[in-house]
Amino acid sequence: MDDIVTVSEDEIATAILTLMEGQKTVAEGAGATSVAAVMFNKIDVKDKKVVCVVSGGNIDVSILSRVITKGLNKTGRISEITTKVLDKPGQLINLLQVISETGANVMSVSHEREAKKSEVNSCVVTMVLETRNIEHVKEIKKALKIKGYEIFND
């Protein structure tokens, strides 16, 4: 019996990244859809011999960059966390110390006093972090909550 399954753009991006990392193969989106379908359990492959046809390497470099970022986000290896800190000296370093203790690497920090979620005495901080996986992101959020930080994009 033949079936039709669908995969999302994020799932395709993750498949492209997986092919690049694991097989050193660059595939365009259409060429990686079969891998995405298997990776995200869209078809039952348990106890079956399966071949995924990977075709086409015609992918624009700027799109490839976005695909890599999407794939890293989907697998929890890049994560964005937004919280707030009191608007006084030393508070940002205290927040970053918690992040450091979790083993995450800070890629960027945005510190906004005028953000909508800011109160008169606080600043909204958005951090982009390099992380190991989705479990690591959960550990980071848990550590922040234990220290009293509110996570806005949870």
CATH number of the CATH domain containing 92: 3.30.70.260
Partner residues linked to 85 by β-bridges? 123
pLDDT per residue as tens digits for the range 30-48: 999 999 999 999 999 999 9
Residues 135, 85: one domain? yes
pLDDT per residue as tens digits for the range 72-131: 988 899 999 999 999 999 999 999 999 999 999 999 999 887 767 677 889 999 999 999
Lookup: tokens for 72: 């890293």
Residues 20, 58: one domain? yes
Give the chain's count of helices (H) and strands (E).
5, 3
Q: Domain count for the chain, please give it.
A: 2
Domain extent at residue 86 = 78-146
The reported pTM is 0.75
Distance of alpha carbon 143 from alpha carbon 53, whole angstroms: 43
Q: Of 49 and 115, which is predicted with more confidence?
A: 49
Residues 49, 105: one domain? no
Sign of CA dihedral 141, 22, 66, 38: negative
CB 82 within 8 A of CB 124: yes
Residues 138, 116: one domain? yes
Percentage of the residues of the chain whose pLDDT score is greater than 70: 97
Residue 154 lies in a domain: no
Q: Which residues, in sequence order, are CB contacts of 113 under 8 Å at separation 6+?
A: 87, 123
pLDDT value of residue 90: 94
